[in-house]
Amino acid sequence: QVQLVESGGGLVKPGGSLRLSCAVSGFSFSDYYMNWIRQAPGKGLEWVSYISSSGRTIYYAASVKGRFTISRDNAKNSLYLQMNTLRAEDTAVYYCASSYGDEIFASWGQGTLVTVSS
């Protein structure tokens, strides 16, 4: 069955960096476009970034543009999010979510917690 598993979260100091990964199984990863979505503790959902199936088209939320980089490796069925210059307000659970055709964010991982604190 479809499975998305995030990893790489943890505690990092302000200004630090972290790389999140999302391992995918159960579907043809290279046919799907992918997103990162985050949720601060006790808050709502915030879309972070999108990458097309080929990786050629990428979008970012204004709040992370210039600091975060999304990428994918279709040979490894994996999605990544490189997060630099982290701020306290980046503290959240980060979810990877797959989209196919009209079904946007159809499948989600369980999330990985990123805490930015000194």
Catalog residues that contact other proteins under the rule CB under 8 A: 35, 44-47, 50, 59-62, 95, 102-111
Residue 87 C-beta: closest distance to other proteins, Å: 16
Structure tokens at 45: 């959902």
Residue closer to other proteins (CB basis): 15 or 88: 88
Beta carbons of 107 and 4 less than 8 angstroms apart? yes
Residue 47 C-beta: closest distance to other proteins, Å: 4
Please tell me the distance from the alpha carbon of residue 89 to that of residue 83, in angstroms, as a whole number: 13
Cα 64 to chain centroid distance, Å, stands at 12
Residue 89 C-beta: closest distance to other proteins, Å: 12
Residue closer to other proteins (CB basis): 35 or 79: 35
Residue 20 C-beta: closest distance to other proteins, Å: 15
63 Cβ contact list (under 8 Å, min separation 6): 46, 89
Residue with tokens 């979510």, as numbered in its chain: 97
